[in-house]
Amino acid sequence: MSHIAVERNRRRQMNEHLKVLRSLTPCFYIKRGDQASIIGGVIEFIKELHQVVQSLEAKKRRKSLSPSPGPSPRQFRLSPPPETPFSDDFKELGACCNSPVADVEAKISGSNVILRTISKRIPGQIVRIIGALERLSFEILHLNISTMEDTVLYSFVVKIGLECQVSVEELAFEVQQSFCSQAVSIMEHAQILS
């Protein structure tokens, strides 16, 4: 009889703990209500939180090593979309920043940003774009590269980071700057050679 009571108490405690875990975990991590799904979802959530902590710690270390002042804090702002050369279905909130070197489009899609650039092929440009996104606290979820002759289209899906404090206009401008700085250095190099 004592063994049955102990087992019943253990099950009751286990169910209470599972309820607490389920309430602390965002619903999209838990697919079903069974114990294995709840525990699996909690594990995935904790792993993601651990990655966020590591990322924040690394950023804090980088900031402590670099004494240069950062940009003033701003909130991630949404703005109405301007006309864009990319498509007619640019109905979501976004921004464009175009130049003779490249066209850059950034638009909000849920908790992510879809970023597209179209330009002539520039060696090392993808690395500069990724660097700009990381500096701005965006996490790259997906990248697609399409080419046609000497033109390249980079399509990114990026997650808005916890510390992201830029607007979509600023994002488009910063990515555009990564193209412009390369174009200036190419022109300077060509002038030196001539």
pLDDT number for residue 159: 86
How buried is residue 47: exposed, middle or buried, by Cβ count under 10 Å (0-12/13-18/19+)?
exposed
Token reading at 5 = 């009571």
Domain parsing of the chain, residue ranges: 1-63, 94-180
pLDDT number for residue 74: 35
Q: Which region holds residue 67: left if phi is over 0, alpha if psi is between -120 and 50, else beta?
A: alpha
pLDDT number for residue 193: 55
Digit-coded pLDDT (tens) for 129-151? 988 888 888 888 888 888 887 88
CATH number, domain 94-180, options 3.40.50.2300, 1.10.3720.10, 2.40.340.10, 3.30.70.260: 3.30.70.260
Residue numbers of the chain with a pLDDT score lower than 50: 68-92, 184, 186, 189
